[in-house]
Amino acid sequence: VRALTFADRSVSPEVDTVSRQTTVIILDAMGLENPTPEQLSAVRVIEHTWHSALITWLSGRASIAQVKIDIEMVCRLIDLTDPDARPRA
């Protein structure tokens, strides 16, 4: 978590590994093997929120209840990227 917080380029490979693993976790939860660019963008926003919420919780600035609310809210982005859920013109 510390490596994710600081701009220390010496831990860049570790940060990249965490980012890839987080992406895999989210895509697996979404049930997607071949996400669209729009879905990958939503995944990145979810990752940013997840990491930020984790840090604020660990630092005592947010309760686990607030973290849960924030993660659930940002995960609603997934619905916005579903091509089948969009209105047809």
pLDDT band, very low/low/confident/very high, at 27 (cuts 50, 70, 90):
very high
d(CA 86, CA 89): 9
d(CA 37, CA 34): 10
- The residue with greater pLDDT, 89 or 20, is 20
Instruction: Determine if the pTM surpasses 0.95.
Output: no
User: Quick count: other Cβ atoms within 10 Å of Cβ 43?
Assistant: 23
Domain CATH for 59: 1.10.357.10
The total domain count for the chain is 1
* Sign of the C-alpha dihedral computed for residues 33, 34, 39 and 45 taken in this order: positive
Q: Domain residues for 33?
A: 2-85
Q: Which two tokens stand for residue 69?
A: 């609310």
